[in-house]
Amino acid sequence: MQNNPYTWIEQALSTINRANWYRSVKTIESLPGAIIKIEGKQLINFASNDYLGLAGDERLIAAAIEATKEFGTGSTGSRLLTGHREIHQELEQEISKLKQTEAALVFSSGYLANIGVISSVVSQRDLILSDKYNHSSLKNGAILSGAKIVEYSHNNIQDLTNKLEQERENYRRSLIITDSIFSMDGDLCKLPLLLDLAEKYNSMLLVDEAHATGVFGINGGGCVEHFNCTGKELIQIGTLSKALGSLGGYVAGSKKLIEFLRNRAPSWIYTTGLTPGDTAAALTAIKILKKEPERRFKLWQNVETLRNLLETENQLFCRGKKISNYESPIICFPLKNAAEALEVGEKLKQVGIFAPAIRPPTVNTSRIRISLMATHETTHLQKLVATLINFNK
Ligand SMILES: *Cc1c(COP(=O)(O)O)cnc(C)c1O
């Protein structure tokens, strides 16, 4: 027994269990949407990244079926070998139009886009400045690159400036990386200030628009559009699997950047191209995004309605900030610890609301994370607020 090299796994699992960090999957038994079925029960869904309600849209489903019939279930190889179809190129063109960049490149997931891009544009002789609250894919991309990583306090421009001042001159290239909408807190990065700093310190800037694409900006172009920074030189990453209702990731930027990545990004070169079905679904989603801006307006109307409902109750706080001050469809409801978050998540489920606990190590502090969709109805929001208020008393 002593020398079984796998015994540590059981010990590790029991440590995870003791800390209330144990996770397991939940089976969704219906189409994605504002109402989903779990364990035979209909629940109002406040846990989805499907902001515009497109993942269950008939047109995306039809496009995926059609492309699958025409081109098969798998793309069968790397984009550089047998994995490239015309719809990949069409999708990349649509993304670059949406982002108003020269070019774009699709990866098989947003995670792969981040690790591939970051590890290609910087290496050992370079510096990465990374927001403390960044998504795991940004953090792991940074580690993979081998560059010197300096974390700055969340959204703290002064701290970032100090660190650039201290470190920049010791390295060849520099890259600032940040979520544009922070995935677990729902706040926005200070993009115009970050662009100024990037320029001042001769640093590249990479923003991850995973939760912003299709949600922010007059055309759904993301935070870059929201802040009127369209056309500035920077590296934009995103996913096809949130507001766009499909699967895959992308990078958008200059033609030269994309050309370079096609030749260098290992998580693009050495992995199978996006399936025809996923590609066609994402392409259809971008077309719908353009044709039906009312979906985005409805989402923001829901954000506004929830804010008004919360403002009438003056006691919801998120990390010292009144919860009703949130700036995106992601709202976090902070709780003392993991056990309490699990308990509240369970109670919500009992009254018909799905908004599970988010705990360490995903985040530093446990919370219930709520995300809104365009397809939520006012009654859904009213029920959520009524229930949360009760827990806060
Ligand atoms: C979800 C997410 C990703 C990963 O995207 P996938 O396409 O799901 O792999 C990357 N960055 C952020 C900020 C995310 O929230």
Residue pLDDT, tens place only, 290-332: 999 999 999 999 999 998 888 876 556 655 556 655 789 998 8
Whole-number Å distance, alpha carbon 393 to ligand 1 midpoint, is 35
Q: What percentage of the chain carries pLDDT values higher than 90?
A: 82
- Out of 135, 181, 188, mutate this one to test ligand 1's pocket (max ligand atoms within 8 Å of CB): namely 135
Decide if 116 contacts 107 (C-beta within 8 A): yes
- Out of 111, 187, 216, mutate this one to test ligand 1's pocket (max ligand atoms within 8 Å of CB): namely 111
Whole-number Å distance, alpha carbon 135 to ligand 1 midpoint, is 7
Q: Which superfamily is assigned to 27-56+293-392 in CATH? A: Aspartate Aminotransferase, domain 1 (3.90.1150.10)
Q: What is the residue with the minimal CA distance to atom 8 of ligand 1?
A: 110
pTM, two decimal places: 0.94
Whole-number Å distance, alpha carbon 215 to ligand 1 midpoint, is 15
CATH fold, domain 58-291, is Aspartate Aminotransferase; domain 2 (3.40.640)
CA quadruple 372, 387, 318, 226: dihedral, nearest 10: 20
Residue pLDDT, tens place only, 162-207: 999 999 999 999 999 999 999 988 999 999 999 999 999 999 999 9
Residue pLDDT, tens place only, 231-279: 999 999 999 999 999 999 999 999 999 999 999 999 999 999 999 999 9
Whole-number Å distance, alpha carbon 250 to ligand 1 midpoint, is 10
Q: With 60 as the cut, is the pLDDT of residue 393 above it?
A: no
Pure H helices in the chain: 8-18, 58-71, 86-99, 110-121, 136-145, 157-167, 191-200, 223-226, 255-264, 266-269, 276-291, 293-312, 338-350, 378-392
Q: What percentage of the chain carries pLDDT values higher than 70?
A: 95
- Binning pLDDT at 50, 70 and 90, where does residue 112 land? very high
Is there an atom of ligand 1 within 6 Å of 182 CB?
Answer: no
Whole-number pLDDT of residue 390: 75
Domain extent listing, the chain:
27-56+293-392, 58-291
